């Protein structure tokens, strides 16, 4: 055999020692390859056996699994998810390639064991959230374990009602700027607007004021910082959909990788400049004087809260940690809220009777208000608008999925086990469209969230801000902003559908392909009753 192998490898003429060494290396390499193939085959067999108890939709083929069917995140994929959930109403299996099964959960009873587990047992999946690390570092979105717990405790005061109250005035001001733009465009004859585009800029404007106390005028003129935030979101979305770019060593050699690094640098420098300037003021004035000055009408912003935060041992956050949390809030706070507001306008445009009732509710609430603005106490006085917002976020949740990786076996209610090391997908979109959870789930019906109906509802039937120990820390901030923006918009404008149906697209957040276009008509006299139009069928 050695002579035959030597002949096949063309080693005649070499000394016996060299020839033997090459043959030995060949045998070693062949043995390693055979072991790897055998191991992969055995692993595949074991995985298949372990997950046989979970039903699965038909595979595209054995090699790609369900990739492309559920991961393109376009309208057809979302319809496929709705169809799959209608068939498998509790849990089902999808395959990302031949060797990676993902358990998808789409029923409250089956989601509960994962969301009720500690952040140590069901942390976020490294692959999914790792792309954010160069931008957001170890902020709340990405961090795990003790660091996440410590930072959550330090950040929680930033979202206390006493801190949020002054932000309502900022929401009013940013909305006023957007509405002035809309009136100007309507006066020029441009009544069809991509509301998502406008609202995204408006939420970024508000966030800069709430986080940094900085007015960039980004709704009226370009801002390099805002452009970089938007560019980073687009680049991460593209990277998710390009398998070969999942490796950092390859990605940062590409043109898009270099653009990503440059945008990160600009965002980090901008945030750090604000932190250093604020630290200088704090050092000059001292904490007591600093807080006293803030009490004289100046808003306590997010950076202020982080700079003053101390843990039980008196330790403060480092500059880098403050930067990471500020960048995380900036990212998580603008797109998700913009999505919630935009899809609410979309749904109300198609259901004029609900839009009219919202208009009437706000009109009565603000009767006699001078100036015409929403105040903190008004937020709890909009029951029907709140119902409409919640129903819109059920049909169109800003975040459609949350991915967890199980570090221990997790038992489901029917005794099936999600094994340790498995990737688990909490399907928010699937749960919100599950006919076993919501009767007639594709119908927009705000009365689902009437007080009498919500008493019978599982807390996990509706989870636009996720659920469990890692739910969204800023959900009260987001709901407050959505209520202010929608209340003023429905008071001042009549919103109508666009002739072209919207095509949903689930990237980092749920948006629309080619923008979310609506027709807006200014109400010349907000105090006059609006003509009640017939309901427009939903596209």
Q: What pLDDT, on the 0 to 100 scale, is given for residue 324? A: 94
What pLDDT, on the 0 to 100 scale, is given for residue 536?
Answer: 40
In this prediction, residue 15 carries a pLDDT of: 60
* pLDDT for position 16: 66
Distance CA(507)–CA(172), nearest Å, equals 29
pLDDT computed for residue 532 by the predictor: 36
Residue ranges of the annotated binding site are: 472
Q: Answer whether 498's CB lies under 8 Å from 192's CB.
A: yes
CATH superfamily membership of 75-522: Cytochrome P450 (1.10.630.10)
Distance of CA 314 to the CA centre of its chain: 33
Once rounded to an integer, what is the mean pLDDT over residues 73-86? 89
Q: How far apart are CA 483 and CA 164, in angstroms?
A: 13
Looking at 326-467, which runs of residues are DSSP E strands? 401-405, 410-411, 417-418, 423-427
Q: What is the mean pLDDT of residues 489-511?
A: 92
Instruction: Tell me what the mean pLDDT of segment 378-398 comes to.
Output: 97
Total-model pTM: 0.87
Share of residues in the chain with pLDDT > 90 (%):
54
Q: How far is CA 470 from the centre of its chain?
A: 13
Three-point CA angle 116, 119, 120, nearest 5°? 115
Give the DSSP per-residue string, 282-320. Answer: HHHH-HHHHHHHHTTT----HHHHHHH-B-TTSPBPPHH
Determine the angle formed by the axes of helices 195-212 and 319-349, rounding to 10 degrees.
150
pLDDT of residue 66 exceeding 90, the answer is: no
* pLDDT tens per residue, range 162-212: 889 999 999 999 999 999 999 999 999 888 999 999 999 999 999 999 999
Judged by average pLDDT, the poorest of 7-21, 215-229, 428-442, 523-537 is 523-537
More confidently predicted of 295 and 83: 83
- Residue 40 has what pLDDT? 73
The full DSSP string for 167-209 is HHHHHHHHHHHHHHHHHHHHHTT--EEEHHHHHHHHHHHHHHH
70 pLDDT band, cuts 50/70/90, is: low
467 sits in which H/E element: none
Burial state string for 306-317 with b = 16 or more CB within 10 A and e = fewer than 16 = bbbbeeeeeeeb
Provide the annotated binding site for heme.
472
Q: Over the stretch 423-471, which tens digit does the pLDDT of each residue have?
A: 999 999 999 999 999 999 999 999 999 988 888 899 999 999 988 777 8
């Amino acid at each position: 055999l050695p002579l035959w192998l030597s002949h096949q490898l063309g080693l005649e003429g070499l000394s016996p020692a060299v020839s033997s060494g090459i043959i030995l290396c060949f045998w070693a390499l062949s043995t390693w390859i055979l072991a790897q193939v055998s191991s992969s085959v055995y692993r595949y067999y074991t995985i298949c056996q372990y997950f046989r108890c979970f039903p699965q939709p038909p595979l595209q083929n054995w090699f790609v699994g369900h990739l492309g069917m559920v991961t393109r995140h376009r309208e057809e994929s979302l319809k496929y998810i709705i169809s799959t959930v209608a068939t498998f109403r509790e849990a089902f299996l999808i395959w990302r390639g031949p060797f990676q099964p993902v358990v998808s959960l789409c029923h409250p009873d089956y989601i509960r064991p994962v969301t009720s587990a500690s952040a140590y047992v069901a942390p976020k999946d490294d692959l999914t959230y790792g792309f954010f690390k160069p931008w957001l570092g170890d902020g709340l979105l990405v961090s795990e374990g003790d660091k996440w717990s410590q930072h959550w405790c330090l950040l929680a005061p930033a979202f206390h009602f006493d801190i949020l109250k002054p932000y309502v005035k900022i929401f009013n001001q940013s909305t006023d700027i957007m509405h002035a733009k809309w009136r100007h465009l309507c006066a020029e004859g441009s009544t069809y607007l991509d509301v998502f585009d406008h609202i995204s800029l408006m939420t970024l404007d508000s966030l800069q004021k709430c986080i940094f106390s900085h007015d960039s005028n980004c709704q009226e003129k370009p801002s390099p910082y805002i452009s970089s935030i938007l560019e980073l979101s687009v680049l991460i979305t593209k990277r998710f959909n390009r398998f070969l770019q999942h490796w950092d060593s390859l990605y940062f050699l590409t043109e898009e990788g270099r653009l990503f690094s440059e945008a990160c640098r600009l965002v980090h420098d901008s945030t750090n400049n604000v932190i250093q300037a604020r630290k200088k003021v704090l050092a000059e004035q001292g904490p007591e004087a600093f807080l006293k000055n803030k009490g004289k009408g100046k808003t306590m912003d997010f950076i202020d809260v982080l700079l003053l935060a101390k843990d039980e041992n008196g330790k403060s956050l480092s500059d880098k940690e403050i930067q990471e949390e500020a960048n995380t809030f900036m990212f998580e706070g603008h797109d998700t809220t913009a999505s919630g507001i935009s899809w609410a306008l979309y749904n109300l445009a198609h259901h004029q009777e609900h839009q009219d009732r919202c208009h009437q509710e706000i009109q009565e609430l603000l009767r006699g208000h001078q100036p015409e603005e929403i105040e903190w106490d008004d937020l709890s006085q909009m029951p029907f608008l709140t119902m409409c917002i919640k129903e819109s976020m059920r049909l169109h949740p800003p975040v459609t999925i949350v991915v967890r990786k199980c570090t221990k076996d997790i038992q489901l209610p029917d005794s099936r086990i999600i094994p340790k090391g498995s990737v688990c997908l909490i399907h928010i979109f699937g749960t919100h469209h599950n006919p076993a959870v919501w009767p007639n789930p594709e119908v927009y019906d705000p009365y689902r969230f009437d007080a009498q109906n919500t008493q019978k509802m599982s807390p996990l039937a509706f989870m636009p801000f996720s659920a469990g120990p890692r739910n969204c820390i800023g959900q009260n901030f987001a709901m407050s902003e959505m209520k202010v923006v929608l209340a003023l918009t429905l008071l001042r404008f009549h919103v109508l559908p666009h002739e072209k149906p919207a095509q949903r697209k689930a990237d980092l957040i749920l948006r629309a392909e080619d923008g979310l276009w609506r027709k807006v008509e200014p109400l010349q006299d907000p105090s006059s009753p609006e003509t009640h139009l017939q309901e427009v069928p939903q596209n």
